[in-house]
Structure 1
Amino acid sequence: MPDTEIIVCTTCRPPGASRELPAHGLALFEAVQEALLVCELDTGQHKGLQLRGQACMSGCSRACTVTLQAQGKFSYYFGDLVPDAETAAQVLACAQLHRHSADGNLARNTRPERLRAGILARLPPVGLGST
């Protein structure tokens, strides 16, 4: 089973947010990083997940943004996320659903609450023929 990569935009800011303050995206990245570390130390539950910060994923009007991707699976791009510990926990839960899905499909009703709305894109795996 391929690892699922969680990519968090580290430069996301809600419209009108001051550039003098730390980016909301960086706060979300740090929250996900902390949640991943805590879970690994406590339970080992999130093995198979990789986390990466990425400066600007072009979702500026829908900050904060996160992508889930894995080789041979559909990729998901979420926006309008709150940069807090609860969102971080739900991102990890959703990433585990993605990891355990054979094709990466994430039905709306199975995703954690904060990742049911705000979907910006669902991209097919590279090389998948059209149907």
Structure 2
Amino acid sequence: MTTWITICDTCKRDDWDEATHSRSHGEDLAERVERQAEGRNVRTRRVSCLMGCGHGCNVAVQAEGKLAYTLGRFIPDDEAAAAIVDYAELHAQSETGQVPFKQWPQGVKGHFVTRHPPLPHTGD
């Protein structure tokens, strides 16, 4: 089962300003997450808007049949990207998608926004 990191590439943190930023914070985070995920047991994709603007920068960690999580309020740096990918790998290793708190990378603590149960199987 593949765990996906879906990265909002349109996120702009509160300090974003057209005069000082040539692109969105989401693009900066996406590049870093993609680089950290290379050769790892997770996949990445970009979307334009996860509708969590008050929590930018946002990502979703999800896999078929598992709990899914939205995380936000990241600074788009290498430390955040590494923590996101490390957490996603733990999600991938979990049968249900739930990762015990004591295993969470420090860099994701305080960044959880929502948790979604897996969709029911077709016909249920």
Structure 1 gaps, min length 5: 41-45
Q: CA deviation at 1:16?
A: 4.7
Percent identical among aligned pairs is 30
Choose 51-60 or 17-26, whichever is displaced more: 17-26
Q: TM-score by structure 2 length?
A: 0.89
Does residue 117 of structure 2 align to residue 116 of structure 1? Answer: no
Partner of 1:59: 52
Q: Is the 8 A contact 2:10 2:49 kept in 1?
A: yes
Q: TM-score by structure 1 length?
A: 0.85
Give the distance between the partners of 1:95 and 1:123, measured in 2 at CA: 15
Residues 62-73 of structure 1: matches in 2 within 5 Å? Answer: 62-73=55-66
Structure 2 gaps, min length 5: none
Give the distance between the partners of 2:67 and 2:120, measured in 1 at CA: 11
Choose 101-110 or 14-23, whichever is displaced more: 14-23
Give the distance between the partners of 2:105 and 2:18, measured in 1 at CA: 30
Partner of 1:31: 32
Partner of 1:15: 14
Q: State the one-letter code of the partner of 1:107.
A: P
